[in-house]
Amino acid sequence: MLHLVLIYIIASIAVEAISEIITSSDITFGFRSYIKKLAFPDEPSSHKFFTKSVGFIDRLISCGYCTSVWVAAALSVGIPKMLDGPIGWVMCIFVLHRISNFIHVVFELVKKGRVKSYDIMYQKSEDYQDGSI
């Protein structure tokens, strides 16, 4: 049982690290900028489905909370589950996702001394500063 708990903790750290690389790293900045340009073109596009699909991808790679769900889904394929079958896989995804978000909050507190509101709630911190929310 302790072995399984350690696997989940290590996998959760990996989920947080991979999510951080996707959403915040300089390595992926060019890709994120390109997707944002496709999602929000200067001229209206006649391809609404394409624009909405790319907009979904933009939101997915811009939000650490959202990204961690999909990273957890990918990593949980190779992790031993407490329960077998699809229910065990879904539970594994959400356990990894939730633990990785707690780890992210701790890392943000240590690194910056605070946690940005949009890291947790997917809302920009400027909205809180100007009193609109």
Angle (CA) 127 94 31, round 5°: 55
pLDDT of residue 114: 61
* 64: containing domain: 2-129
Contact, 52 vs 90, CB < 8 A? no
pLDDT of residue 44: 67
Q: Give residues with Cβ within 8 angstroms of 124, minimum separation 6.
A: 117, 118
- The pTM assigned to this predicted structure is 0.67
CA dist., res. 103 & res. 95, Å (int): 12
Report which secondary-structure segment, H or E, holds 132.
none
CA dist., res. 96 & res. 75, Å (int): 9
- Please list the rounded mean pLDDT of every run of 10 residues in the chain (133 residues): 80 87 85 82 68 80 84 83 77 86 80 58 48 48
Provide the number of structural domains found in the chain: 1
